[in-house]
Amino acid sequence: MQYQHSDWDRTARRNAWKRRAESAVLVLLVAAGAVAVLGWLKPWQLVLPSPSDPAPHLSETEIPRPPSPEGAARAFLDGWQSADYLKMYTLLAASTRASMPQEDFISFYKDVRAQSTLRSLEYTILTVEMTPTDATIGFEVTLHTLLAGDISRTTRMLMKREGDAWKVAWDGRTVLPELENGNRLVLHRDIPARGNIYDREGLPLAVEAEVVEIGIIPGEITDEELVMARLSSALRMSRELIRLKIAESMPDEYVPIGETAAADIPGGYESLMTLGGVYVNTSTRRYYYGGGVGAHAVGYTGKISTGLLADYQARGYSGNETVGATGLEESAESDLAGRPGGTLMVTAADGTPLINLAKADPKPASDVYTTLDRDLQAQIERTVLGPYNGAVVVLHRDTGEVLAMASGKRFDSNLFTPGSYNGAYLVQGILNDPDGPLNNRAATGSYPLGSVFKIITMAAGLESGLFTPGTIYDDATGVYIGADGVERTDWVLEKEMQPHGKITLEQCLVQSCNPCFWNVGETLYRQDPMAVAEMAAAFGLGSATGIPGLDEFEGLVPGPGGPAWNVSHALDQAVGQGSLLVTPLQVADFVAAVGNGGTLYRPQIILSIRPPEGAPVFTLSPAVRGLLPLHPENLEALQRAMRGVIYDPKGTARARFAGISGSVRIAGKTGTAQSGSEDPHSWFVAYTYNEGSVKPDIAVAVIAEYAGEGSAFAARMVRRVFEIYFFGRPATLFPWESEYGIRATETPEASPTMASENSF
């Protein structure tokens, strides 16, 4: 029987054939896709497994993928953000590296950074267009510049595939679209005039001026007296000092004498050029009054060093400017320099101007007014320390303002100004001087304090409750034997004087009795080994004063906790010896606090900063950095004892202040500190308590290195400071002077009263 197909059978057969056809097409599509994928994977490297190989198991992350041009572009732009130009160069295509050496590439980016005053940049990837061998990355870049603000551009980066990596086919548009075809950025700067530095009364310390440098060839002098007279008048320098400058020179040798502003020479500098043997050089530049009055604090200017070039360029400098190198010139650079303006241009490779990208007006510089008293500073520098290294600090007692800060040796800051003719002869000698004349000893010099420290030891003793101002110590022999078994001898025995006998603690400070303070130190050590060290810290020792604008040394106050602290160290500390180190600025500061009632002010040297127009951007206000931790009665006892040093018949400095102590009320303390050599350091500290009846009260600290006894040297120097401050000029010659500021002998002559004075 013949089978008859129904309509249902015919439909089923048609559907089956259709499904088979669709499956075949699907297989073909999958195969085609596999071939396409394998085309990306270098098919000539593909090895198919044989039927006997185990089937591979690849996770999705292990499937090889083509490298990313966007990732390479981001790495390049990240390198630009961090100024890692060497890394950027390694990401360049071989063709780019062949046409642009590494040093040229790095120089280009550094130049872009300098010319645009670039501070930082941001970028955003916008588009990625690619083929198997090339790509174009569209991105937006924003340059944050000091001069022109933000500069935003949309540009592109060309990429090439090299093997498995994408590289940058660099051109100028990779930076900014305007830099195509070899174009460059050029900044035409508008530099404001540098601000001036003044003293507290507006007298100039550092200004822009026509400077006259003067020198002598001794063998060509035809009229010595006339030359000495005219140069003395022009330079405000004594004739004797001018003679000393040329005393050991050869007849045909040029001897630099000094410099001054052209406007300050009576009759003009042309009149000096007619004098036989006198040579004059003029230039317009930075001028420091009086041979650099206050040079250690004011500082000087110089060219930008290689190590700081990038930093200054990022601040808008070209790198060729003269900038502050030390002191206030350096720390107040941003105020004294103002901010440069200028026009940022795009130029063709040949320098032809094309377009202006940005323009900014300069910000005028500000002037810095210091707390210094120029006349006081100048006279102290010329006449107080004389032949001795050391330091002088004068503070306004009740505010912390620095009226004078002098260091010896002093140096002439004019010599360091670029373009100085005399500097070519003298700067190297200053740099090589073993005495370190450039050191600001007032703020960075570190010294043992000697018996001035007894002020602090007495304060610790009184506050401990173990001592009162009237506590009696019996100094029967002038010898003290402590718990360490060491025999210590008082200074009176060295001078063949009688021991102090029974004496109160207050009188111990007046007469600087060492055995008494050794006893205080040892007694406190037994009860509280930290008592003296903690009191010293409360007086501001062992930490920076925080004076704005100047570098300073923190000092050192040793105490328990160190590996070798014992009773011997405590005994040394009680009289200011051992490893204790202080700066003259710290000492003047705590002496002022004793005198003003216990307020420890932060020393300050900047009175105000004033732009050409408008209100000052800074005005000094007294800043309290601590209070002496003393009960009123104990502070008063310290003050009485320091007055006794000057007025008590047995006071260690009574003879030194005879005469002046009748018109100026003074309290002080002598100090002689072991220096490690035969000659000790000479200290004297003092404050006045006239309560403003004549002039504001001051505090003074003087140290003369390796000079000798405190009463013989530093006390005399402090007296001269008072003479200058209160009466306008010195009134008594030092025994070692032939005239004020001119040394006659190496050591002072003995005075009739010296044998009865305390060397501590």
What are the residue ranges spanned by the domains of the chain?
Answer: 69-182, 184-343+351-366, 374-425+646-756, 450-634
Residue partners of 384: CB distance under 8 A and separation at least 6 = 392, 406, 702, 717, 720, 721
pLDDT of residue 52: 44
Residue partners of 419: CB distance under 8 A and separation at least 6 = 283, 285
How far is it, in rounded angstroms, from Cα 628 to Cα 264?
47
Query: What is the number of other CB atoms lying within 10 angstroms of the CB of residue 690?
Result: 16
Say what the alpha-carbon torsion angle 494, 647, 507, 449 is, to the nearest 10 degrees.
-60
Nearest to 132 by CA among 163, 168, 157: 163
- The segments of the chain whose pLDDT lies below 50 read 1-18, 21-22, 24-56, 58-61, 63, 746-760
Q: What are phi and psi of 20, to 5 degrees?
A: -60, -40
Q: Which CATH architecture has domain 69-182?
A: Roll (3.10)
- Any idea what the Cα angle at residue 224 is, between residues 220 and 228, rounded to 5°? 115
Q: What are phi and psi of 9, to 5 degrees?
A: -65, -45
Question: What dotted CATH number matches 374-425+646-756?
Answer: 3.30.450.330
Q: Residue 574 has which token pair?
A: 């009680």
Nearest to 328 by CA among 698, 606, 77, 715: 606
Query: 81 with 124: CB under 8 angstroms?
Result: no
Residue partners of 124: CB distance under 8 A and separation at least 6 = 139, 140
Q: Residue 741 has which token pair?
A: 């500021």
Query: 585 with 405: CB under 8 angstroms?
Result: yes
DSSP-based three-state secondary structure for 610? strand
pLDDT of residue 51: 43
The one-letter code for the residue type at 236 is R
Asked whether the bond before 409 is cis by omega within 30 degrees of 0, the reply is yes
How far is it, in rounded angstroms, from Cα 60 to Cα 455?
80
Range 104-139 burial, b when 16+ CB lie within 10 A, else e: ebeebbbebbbbbbbeebebeeeeeebeeeebbbeb
How far is it, in rounded angstroms, from Cα 122 to Cα 78?
9
| CATH superfamily label, 184-343+351-366 | Penicillin-binding protein 2a (Domain 2) (3.90.1310.10)
Query: 720 with 730: CB under 8 angstroms?
Result: yes
Spell out the CATH class of 450-634: alpha beta
Range 694-723 burial, b when 16+ CB lie within 10 A, else e: eeebbbbbbbbbebbbbbbbbbbbbbbbbb
HEC string for 237-295: CCHHHHHHHHCCCCCCCCEEEEEEEHHHCCCCHHHHHHCCCEEEEEEEEEEEHHHHCCH
DSSP-based three-state secondary structure for 533? helix
pLDDT of residue 363: 92
How far is it, in rounded angstroms, from Cα 214 to Cα 277?
11
pLDDT of residue 563: 64
Query: 363 with 192: CB under 8 angstroms?
Result: yes
DSSP-based three-state secondary structure for 658? coil
Can you say whether residue 185 is alpha, beta or left, with left for phi > 0 and alpha for psi between -120 and 50 degrees?
beta
pLDDT of residue 495: 85
Pairing outcome for strands 479-481 and 737-739: unpaired
Nearest to 642 by CA among 601, 661, 663, 670: 670
pLDDT of residue 719: 98
Largest CA distance in the chain: 163
Residue count of the chain: 760
Q: Rounded to whole angstroms, what are the CA distances from 601 to 392, 536, 583, 589, 623?
A: 18, 16, 16, 7, 6
Q: Rounded to whole angstroms, what are the CA distances from 705 to 441, 581, 646?
A: 10, 14, 23
How far is it, in rounded angstroms, from Cα 24 to Cα 29?
9
How far is it, in rounded angstroms, from Cα 541 to Cα 316?
40
Q: pTM for this one?
A: 0.83
Residue partners of 516: CB distance under 8 A and separation at least 6 = 473, 475, 500, 503, 505, 508
